[in-house]
Each structure stands twice: as structure tokens, then as C-alpha cells.
């Protein structure tokens, strides 16, 4: 049975659920129905470990209510089996809103109209989308046995269809396909590791055989083991590692927090660092719902952003392309509509992608070739905030650290713990390569759509050695 056949059996469409919720509402509200299907396969030690196929449908109602001193808001989200479940969710949301204190973010709900096709059937996926991946893995497992490797990894495809309606007339629909494949090869004694990742919308371009060949090359680099002490090294961070650092930077870039002196983008209470030069290189960091290959929803469908900024009053508001940094200068921070009105600035809800470019064109092999002596990283791991005032982060290198000598890979180095601030790193970059689509390593449960360059840092701070391999 296909996903679409399952959907067809449902007596009530998502759009009808939205309309029913709006018809039952007695207060201004935003209603969202999310239809989600997912399929995944996981493997370890060159054998499958888990697999599954999941479906869910949820209804979220964000109600606003007049209360003493202003307007309050409350959201209730539940998985919903049928039309009878709508009323209790609406009532619960209105009860929470009606019993709450006035919100500082209160704004009139976004008004609008129904966009064409907003009530179309949901898109879906099933385990069948991973059939080619499974076949490719079966072949790779055979090769790995002959090469003395063990293979590990995970492939997942999620298709989410979001329906949004508001008591102010908005009707929107958006489809978000999100796929990823993480592929990890290790030597049989587990002492060397290589990793490759792919973000995809439909797995059509994912080439398991090619990825395995790349991993085999990297494990070959690791046949020569070199021990290096902690210290500051010229370091090439590939797109995957850069993505994990820039995502964290972006997650902390809340405008109100900066205004109140609470984050690293503050210049003191009441002042932000907007307008400050962060890099001498022409760094551009942006989000754009229409970026080719990284397309994502272009309207607000959540109630808060990853920065912790509440957008409960902003449901259905358009999401525009935004430059957070351009020409190396901090240009914007994340701001909801309420904060925008208070400050006289624009609302800046970020799209669900992140794109960094520094005007460079060099490929990773070219940047390796132009390196006298330095380190090439593969990925970063267990990144956590040590000092929010500087956005000092700690974490580990993972999946292969390689020593470059005279433009060539000389061997694999031990792992390190680093302590660095991504904001401060921007000020120390000496080269930025070509930007390319990448799957980040640590945060790919949350962020799937990124394009990043390789960067060169002349003095990356490797604080201690990790014995892990």
C-alpha cells in the first residue's frame, strides 16, 4: 500500500480540519495541520540494525485572547485521528490563551487570502524510496568485507505537508521533503574512521557507490598515523564542519537578546553589534527560502524560532531572503513582528536553511594543494557553548584529521578537543573556498539545508588531544 493510498482512505482532509478548527474558534487564531510521513534505515558493523516507516498527522491551534492589559496567546498541538478531535484542541488553546498574562510580543494576526491549491492532497513517502539505497548498501557491504572495513550509517526521508489557516483569512500549504544519508566507514579494528554525508530532497541523486569510494580513499590516507600535540594549527575546515559552527552562531543571533545584553551580539544593554565588521573577507551569511536546491517553507509555520524568539503571533507571515552578514559586516539579527514594531526595524524570521559564501572559488583539493603544513578536518562533534558572552564553543574533531605537508596528505592525525568562537573565527579567516551544498554532522537532526565553503584558519585552537578514534 502506498502512502497516497493510505491518505486517500482518510475521511477528512487536512484542509477540512483547518476549516473546522477555524469555524469552532471564538477567538482570533492560527491553525496548522501537519501531515508527516517518514521512512528510515540504519546500519552498523555492515548489517542493518533498525528500520521503520512512520506516519503522523497533527493539529496545532494558536489562539489569542484579550486579557487585562493586552493580548495573551497559547498554543496546543496534538496528533489528531479524526474530526472529533478538533473541538477539544481549539477549546484547550482558547483556555490557555484566556488564562494567560498579556504578551509583550502581541501583534494583530497576519491577514491574507487563500493561495491557489492550498487544499491539495498531502505529499508522502514510504520505505520504497530507500530501495536503491538498500541495494547500494548491500553491494557496499560486500566490498567492505573484502577491504577489511566496517560500514555504519543512517538514511532517512521525511515529507511534511503543512496546511495553515487563520481567522484573518490566510490559507497556505507547503511541502517540505527532507532526506539525509550519513555514511561512515571504519577499519575493522575501528582505529580509523571516515565519514560522508548527503542532504537530499528525494534520494534521486544520492550515489552510495561513489560515497563509499570516497570513504575508501580517506581510510587509505589513514594508513600512516601521526601523533601531534595540542596547539594552534593552520587548519582547513570543510563545508560540513563550517556548517556546524555557523549554525550555532545563527542560533544565538536573537535581536532582543542582543538588545538586552544577553548574547554575544550585544554591545551592552540597549545596543547590538549590527553594523560591526566581523571579517575582513567578504563573508556573506544568509537564509533564503528560494535558494536552488535548498528550498524551504516561505511562511511562518512554527511558534518559535531556533533562536528562541517567539513567533506565535506571526503565523503565516512571509519569510523573505535575509543577509545576516554581508561583506563581512553583521547586518541583521532575528526579530519577531512585535520586536520589530517596538524598535522600528524589520521583522526577520529566518528561513530553514543557511548559506555562507565568501566569494571564493577554490575547491577543497586546490586548498589542500596550496597548503604548506596544516590540518584538514572532516567533521566536528559534541559542540557546546562554554562562554555565551564570546560564544566560545568547545567540541571534538571526528572522522579523520589529516596532516597536509607540501600540498599533499601526509597521514592521519589524532583527534583534538577545540575551544573556539565562530564569531572570532570569522575575524581570523585567511581564505574561503567555493560554497557548496553540505550536510552538517552534529546538527543534522535539526538543520538539513546548508551551503558552506571550506575555510582556512591560520591558528585554530586545538586545546587538548582526544584519544578517541
Partner 1 sequence: MMSALPGASLKGSGGSREHRPDSSVALVRVDVVPDLDASFLDLPLPALTDAALSRAEALGCSHADVRIERIRGAYRTFRDRSLESSTDGERLGMSVRVVHEGIWGFAAGIDLTTDAAAALSDRAVATAKVSRPLTPDTVQLADEPSYDASWVSAYEINPFEVEEPHKQARMLDLSDRLLRAAGVSHTSAALWTVQENKYFANLAGTRTTQQRVRTQPQWTAFSVGDHGFATMRTLAAPSGRGWEYLTGTGHDFDTEIAELPEQLAEHVQAPSIDAGRYDLVIDPTNLFLTIHESIGHATELDRALGYEAAYAGTSFATFDQLGSLRYGSDVMNVTGDRVTEHGLATIGYDDEGVASQQFPIVSKGVLVGYQLNRQMAAANGLGRSNGCAFADSPGSIPMQRMPNVSLQPEPGGPSTEELISAVDRGIYIVGDKSWSIDMQRYNFQFTGQRFFKIEKGRLAGQVKDVAYQATTTDFWRSMEAVGNESTYVLGGAFNCGKGQPGQIAPVSHGCPSALFRDVNILNTQAEGSAS
Range 255-284, binding partner 1 (CB under 8 A)? 260-262, 266, 268-269
Q: Is 372 in the site for partner 1 (CB under 8 A)?
A: no
Distance CA 14, CA 28 (A): 20
Nearest in space to 314 (alpha carbons), one of 330, 332, 297, 331: 297
Range in contact with partner 1 (rule: CB under 8 A) among 244-252, 340-348, 364-372, 377-385:
377-385
In the complex with partner 1, the residue whose CB is nearer, 305 or 437, is: 305
How far apart (Å, rounded) are the C-alpha atoms in residues 48 and 46? 7
Which residues within the stretch 196-215 sit at the binding site for partner 1 (CB under 8 A)?
none
Question: Of these, 23, 26, 81, 210, which contacts partner 1 (CB under 8 A)?
Answer: 81
Per the DSSP assignment, residues forming a β-bridge with 334 are 254
CB of 407 to partner 1, least distance (A): 28
The single residue among 146, 204, 406, 467 that binds partner 1, judged by CB under 8 A, is: 467
Determine if 289 is a binding residue for partner 1 (CB under 8 A). no
H or E element, residue 462: strand 450-466
Please give the helix or strand (H or E) that residue 60 lies within, else none.
strand 47-67
CB of 200 to partner 1, least distance (A): 16
Q: Is position 35 an interface residue for partner 1 (rule: CB under 8 A)?
A: no
- Minimum CB separation of residue 262 from partner 1 in Å reads 6
The contacts of residue 317 (CB under 8 Å, 6+ apart) are 110, 299, 300, 311, 337, 347, 349
- Alpha-carbon gap, residue 400 to 388, rounded angstroms: 29
- What CA–CA distance (Å, rounded) separates 188 from 73? 56
Measured CA to CA in angstroms, residue 37 lies from 7, 55, 105, 118, 383 at distances of 10, 4, 33, 19, 30
The footprint of partner 1 on residues 140-179 (CB under 8 A) is 141, 150, 152-154, 156
Instruction: Please say whether the beta carbons of 438 and 353 come within 8 A.
Output: no
Q: Which stretch binds partner 1 (CB under 8 A): 26-34, 128-136, 212-220, 281-289?
A: 128-136
Q: Which stretch binds partner 1 (CB under 8 A): 160-168, 187-195, 317-325, 350-358?
A: 187-195
Joined together, the cell numbers standing for residue 96 give 490557555
- Residues of this chain, 418-447, that bind partner 1 according to CB under 8 A: 419-421, 424-425, 427-428, 445
52-to-41, 130, 205, 207 alpha-carbon distances in Å: 7, 11, 22, 22
Residue with smaller CB distance to partner 1, 424 or 436: 424
Among 20, 57, 157, 173, binds partner 1 (CB under 8 A): 57
Q: Is 4 in the site for partner 1 (CB under 8 A)?
A: no
Based on C-alpha coordinates, what's the Rg of the chain? 24
Question: What is the distance between the alpha carbons of residues 434 and 363, in angstroms, rounded to a whole number?
Answer: 6
Q: What binding mask, one character per residue, do residues 380-419 give for partner 1 by CB under 8 A, x or -?
A: -xxxxxxxxxx-x-xxx-x----------------x-x-x
Interface region with partner 1, contact rule CB under 8 A, candidates 182-190, 209-217, 277-285, 320-328: 182-190
Q: Is 12 in the site for partner 1 (CB under 8 A)?
A: no
Least CB distance to partner 1 at residue 190 (A): 7
Find the shortest distance in angstroms from Cβ 171 to partner 1: 23
Nearer to partner 1, 38 or 332 (CB): 38
Q: Is 360 in the site for partner 1 (CB under 8 A)?
A: no
Distance separating alpha carbons of residues 339 and 184, to the nearest angstrom: 44
Q: Which of 12, 24, 44, 329 binds partner 1 (CB under 8 A)?
A: 44
Looking at residues 87 to 106 of the shown chain, list those that interact with partner 1 (rule: CB under 8 A): 92-93, 95-97, 99-105
Candidates 7, 38, 314, 339; binder of partner 1 (CB under 8 A) is 38
Q: Which three cell numbers stand for residue 421?
A: 568562537
CB neighbours of residue 200 within 10 Å: 19
What is the spatial distance between Cα 220 and Cα 204, in angstroms, rounded to a whole number? Answer: 28
- Nearer Cβ to partner 1, position 2 or 361? 2
Q: Which of 71, 184, 438, 448 binds partner 1 (CB under 8 A)?
A: 184
Q: What is the distance between the alpha carbons of residues 381 and 333, in angstroms, rounded to a whole number? A: 26
Is the separation of the CB atoms in 230 and 465 below 8 Å? yes
What 3-state class would DSSP assign to 309?
coil
Instruction: State how beta strands 379-387 and 392-398 pair.
Output: antiparallel
- Least CB distance from residue 227 to partner 1, whole Å? 15
Return the number of the residue (75 or 348) whose C-beta is nearest partner 1.
75
In the region spanning residues 292 to 351, those forming contacts with partner 1, defined by CB under 8 A, are: 303-304, 308, 310, 312
How many residues touch partner 1 under the rule CB under 8 A: the total is 105
Q: Are 468 and 455 in contact (CB under 8 A)?
A: no
CB closer to partner 1, 47 vs 369: 47
Amino acid at each position: 500500500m502506498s502512502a497516497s493510498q493510505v491518505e486517500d482512505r482518510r475521511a477528512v482532509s487536512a484542509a477540512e480540519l483547518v476549516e473546522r478548527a477555524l469555524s469552532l474558534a471564538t477567538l482570533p487564531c492560527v491553525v496548522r495541520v501537519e501531515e508527516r510521513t517518514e521512512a528510515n534505515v540504519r546500519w552498523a558493523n555492515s548489517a542493518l540494525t533498525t528500520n521503520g516507516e512512520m506516519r503522523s498527522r497533527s493539529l496545532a491551534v494558536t489562539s489569542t485572547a484579550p486579557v487585562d492589559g493586552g493580548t495573551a496567546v497559547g498554543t496546543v498541538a496534538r496528533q489528531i485521528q479524526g474530526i472529533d478531535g478538533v473541538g477539544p484542541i481549539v477549546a484547550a488553546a482558547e483556555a490557555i490563551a484566556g488564562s494567560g498574562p498579556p504578551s509583550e510580543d502581541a501583534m494583530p494576526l497576519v491577514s491574507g487570502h487563500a493561495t491557489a491549491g492550498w487544499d491539495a492532497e498531502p505529499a508522502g513517502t514510504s520505505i520504497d524510496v530507500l530501495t536503491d539505497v538498500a541495494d547500494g548498501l548491500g553491494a557496499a557491504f560486500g566490498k567492505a568485507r573484502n577491504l577489511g572495513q566496517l560500514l555504519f550509517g543512517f538514511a532517512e526521508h521525511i515529507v511534511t505537508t503543512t496546511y495553515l489557516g487563520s481567522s484573518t483569512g490566510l490559507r497556505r500549504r507547503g511541502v517540505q521533503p527532507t532526506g539525509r544519508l550519513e555514511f561512515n566507514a571504519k577499519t575493522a579494528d575501528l582505529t580509523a574512521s571516515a565519514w560522508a554525508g548527503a542532504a537530499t530532497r528525494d534520494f534521486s541523486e544520492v550515489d552510495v557507490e561513489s560515497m563509499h569510494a570516497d570513504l575508501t580513499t580517506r581510510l587509505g590516507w589513514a594508513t600512516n598515523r601521526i601523533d601531534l600535540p595540542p596547539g594552534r594549527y593552520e587548519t582547513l575546515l570543510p563545508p560540513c564542519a563550517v556548517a556546524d559552527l555557523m549554525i550555532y552562531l545563527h542560533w544565538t543571533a536573537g535581536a532582543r537578546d542582543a538588545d538586552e545584553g544577553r548574547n554575544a551580539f550585544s554591545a551592552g544593554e540597549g545596543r547590538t553589534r549590527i553594523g560591526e565588521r566581523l571579517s575582513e573577507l567578504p563573508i556573506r551569511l544568509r537564509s533564503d527560502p528560494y535558494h536552488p536546491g535548498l528550498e524551504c517553507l516561505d511562511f511562518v509555520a512554527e511558534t518559535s524560532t531556533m533562536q528562541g524568539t517567539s513567533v506565535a503571533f506571526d503565523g503565516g507571515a512571509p519569510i523573505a531572503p535575509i543577509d545576516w552578514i554581508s561583506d563581512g559586516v553583521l547586518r541583521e539579527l532575528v526579530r519577531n513582528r512585535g520586536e520589530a514594531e517596538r524598535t522600528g526595524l524589520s521583522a526577520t524570521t529566518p528561513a530553514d536553511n543557511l548559506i555562507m559564501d565568501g566569494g571564493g572559488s577554490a575547491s577543497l583539493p586546490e586548498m589542500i594543494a596550496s597548503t604548506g603544513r596544516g590540518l584538514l578536518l572532516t567533521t566536528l562533534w559534541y559542540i557546546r557553548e562554554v562562554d555565551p558572552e564570546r560564544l566560545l564553543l568547545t567540541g571534538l574533531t571526528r572522522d579523520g584529521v589529516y596532516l597536509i605537508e607540501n600540498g599533499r596528505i601526509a597521514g592521519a592525525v589524532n583527534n583534538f578537543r577545540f575551544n573556539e568562537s565562530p564569531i572570532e573565527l570569522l575575524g581570523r579567516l585567511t581564505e574561503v573556498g567555493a560554497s557548496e551544498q553540505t550536510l552538517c554532522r552534529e546538527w543534522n537532526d535539526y538543520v538539513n539545508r546548508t551551503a558552506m565553503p571550506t575555510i582556512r584558519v591560520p591558528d585554530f585552537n586545538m586545546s587538548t588531544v582526544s584519544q578517541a578514534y
